[in-house]
Amino acid sequence: MLSLLFMAKKRKNKLEDTVMLIQQGDNELRDTLIDSYKPFIAKSVSSVCKRYIHESDDEFSIGLIAFNEAIDKYAADKGHSLLSFAEVLIKRRVIDYIRRHSRNQSLSLNHGDASDEDAARSTIEDDLSMEDYKKKSDEEKRRDEIIHFQKLLQDFDLSFSDLVEQSPKHADARKNAMVVAKVLTENDELRNLLIEKKRLPLKQLEDTVHVSRKTLERNRKYIIAISLILSGDFIYLKDYIKGVLDT
């Protein structure tokens, strides 16, 4: 839902659509996709190894193979994104590699037990468990934020469906509307008028920003929604807006 408000609608499933084409046999597209996501692969591998990973490292090769495997096994109907699926698979394959490598080292050095291997495995799995916990915690907080935002929208006679229908269709128009909302929230008088009257102070806003009255009216609901996010305690939702404004 959030991607519909802050990002281009037709790009929403661009990555997943690309994977579908690859699964249908477009190997040239596969090579292009893998190459473009090498930084993501390196980051995923580094999070397991706890060190910077170079493309020349064996662990990176394991991650590369795992990402390719994720492309082949990905199914959109499972409800997760390719990148979340690939991240899990990459980490599993790298852990398996570390376990095998540790076991082989232990044998070559004639160690009589696998205590070092078990300790390394335990540390890696504990770190990943904490990482998974943090992700789940963030997801819960983000979900709570959305629920709170949804209730706030009702006070302004707005809903998510309204915003999806009436949000600016082009990226530049969305960004300009966000800039207007930012100006509004940074102006005490305009912000107070919005909160008190439960409507956009069009006349005062028109005198403040270099945007036509017609454009302000057309994007009225979207500007109100963004203003509410910027004015409130919405840590996660603000990140979406910041990502657009910083581009």
For residue range 24-45, list pLDDT tens digits in order: 999 899 999 999 999 999 999 9
Is the sign of the CA dihedral 54, 55, 56, 57 positive or negative?
positive
Task: Work out the angle at residue 10's Cα, subtended by the Cα atoms of residues 171 and 162, and round it to the nearest 5 degrees.
Answer: 70
Assess contact for 81 and 16: CB atoms under 8 A: yes
Helices assigned H by DSSP within 24-114: 27-36, 38-49, 58-73, 82-108
Confidence check: pLDDT of 221 > 90 = yes
Q: Terminal CA-to-CA distance of the chain, rounded, Å?
A: 21
Is the pTM here over 0.85, yes or no?
Answer: no
Q: What gap in Å lies between CA 104 and CA 133, rounded to an integer?
A: 31
Structure tokens at 44: 């995923």
Go through the domains of the chain in sequence order and give each one's CATH number: 11-112 (1.10.1740.10), 151-245 (no CATH)
For residue range 101-154, list pLDDT tens digits in order: 776 655 554 444 545 545 545 555 555 555 565 666 677 788 888 899 999 999
